[in-house]
Amino acid sequence: MKNAWSLRSLLGIAVVASCTVAFAAWPERTVQYVIAFAPGGESDLAARLQAETFKAKFGKDMIVVNKPGAGGGLAWSQMNTTAGDGYTITGINLPHIVLQPLEGTANFKTEDTTPVYWFHYTPDAVIVAADSPYKSLDDLIRAAKEKPEVVTFAGSGTNSANHAAWARFDRDFKVKTTYVPFKGTGDLLSSVLGGHVSAAMSYSTLAIQQKGKMRMLAVASDKRLAQFPDVPTFRELGVDWVDGAYRGIGVPKSTPPELRKQISDAMDAVNKDPETRKKMVELGFEVTDIGYDQMPKFMKERSAEYMSTAKLLGLVK
């Protein structure tokens, strides 16, 4: 009996050791990085930048695979159908993964997603065409008060960061405007530039990409952006608004905790690479370093914040 117990113990230790070695060796091969949106958007740009740094640091390819559909919901509904071995990770977004399931038509629930790292957010921003008659946010607010629901905001998707920011704008500035959803940031460009909508509720990244063609009126960053020193923050305009769309990494639920932590640590190393960080900032991203150990607290806080937004959007009572 004693010998049998010892043999079982040794076998158990060997299994644990082999798993530890397997995790320690990650990544041993190519990692597939699923992005829930079409090429060219903020999620895609960040992923391709991360893939370059990942290859340089770990010597393994990270292949970006775009799987757009349902405002990101298609990819998120399929996250748990892949193996939890660390070789398929998925880009996830807030508030999308919290708000979309509340509508009732999404094929996933917030708890179906397993975030392991949040690497940046793009500050909410009000943007107009360069030739727009609205030269300041006051101009836009004044027009919205004079003609309720006539001023229109283009945004990416419904129950998305842009949709939530639009609802917050109407509430905080006590106006009534109309939200016009598009499939993605790229799809709304021509409508804004052509004057078919009054403005875009988008991100600082769009203002940077379209500098010269578009003008940013206000931004939800903690301080003014270096690229736009003349553009006020919402806080400067009297509204305590520092927020945007968070982007991060999710894995299948079957991924062991030890491996989740390793993936988080690897993406943290990518995110803290000086050149990568510099490029992120230049693109207009606000860099964050929210790892696996911080995840429960962060998700609880953000989810609570989004519940107030969900009420504005009529998703909850």
**With contact defined as beta carbons under 8 Å apart, do 316 and 101 qualify?**
no
Residues 6+ apart with CB under 8 A from 67: 34, 35, 36, 74, 75, 78
CATH number at residue 154: 3.40.190.10
Question: Based on the domain organization, do 142 and 110 belong to the same domain?
Answer: no
- When divided into structural domains, the chain yields a total of 2
In order along its 317 residues, the chain shows pLDDT tens digits of 444 444 444 444 444 444 444 456 899 999 999 999 888 888 999 999 999 999 999 999 999 999 998 889 999 999 999 999 999 999 999 999 999 999 888 999 999 999 999 999 999 999 999 999 999 999 999 999 999 999 999 998 888 899 999 999 999 999 999 999 988 787 899 999 999 999 999 999 999 999 999 999 999 999 999 899 999 999 999 999 999 999 999 999 999 999 999 999 999 999 999 999 999 998 889 899 999 999 999 999 999 989 988 998 999 88
**96 belongs to a structural domain:** yes
Q: Which of 50, 48, 90 is nearest to 72 (CA)?
A: 90
Question: Based on the domain organization, do 113 and 134 belong to the same domain?
Answer: no
Question: Based on the domain organization, do 114 and 250 belong to the same domain?
Answer: yes
**304 belongs to a structural domain:** yes
**178 belongs to a structural domain:** yes
Question: Based on the domain organization, do 212 and 284 belong to the same domain?
Answer: no
Cis peptide before 181 (omega within 30 of 0): no
pTM of the model: 0.83
**225 belongs to a structural domain:** no
**91 belongs to a structural domain:** yes
**19 belongs to a structural domain:** no
Question: Based on the domain organization, do 150 and 81 belong to the same domain?
Answer: no
Question: Based on the domain organization, do 137 and 208 belong to the same domain?
Answer: yes
d(CA 198, CA 181): 13
d(CA 77, CA 199): 32
d(CA 218, CA 233): 5
Question: Based on the domain organization, do 141 and 205 belong to the same domain?
Answer: yes
Which token pair is 5?
């117990």
**259 belongs to a structural domain:** yes
**16 belongs to a structural domain:** no
Domain boundary among 203, 219, 235: 219
178-182/152-156 β-pairing: parallel
Question: Based on the domain organization, do 249 and 115 belong to the same domain?
Answer: yes
Question: Based on the domain organization, do 107 and 151 belong to the same domain?
Answer: no
CATH number at residue 68: 3.40.190.150
Q: What confidence score (pLDDT) does residue 144 get?
A: 98
Distance, CA of 246 to chain centre:
3
Q: Domain range spanning residue 253?
A: 31-121+245-312
Mean per-residue pLDDT over the chain, rounded = 91
**With contact defined as beta carbons under 8 Å apart, do 155 and 179 qualify?**
yes
pLDDT tens for each residue of 187-196: 899 999 999 9
Question: Based on the domain organization, do 86 and 68 belong to the same domain?
Answer: yes
Question: Based on the domain organization, do 139 and 282 belong to the same domain?
Answer: no
Question: Based on the domain organization, do 265 and 128 belong to the same domain?
Answer: no
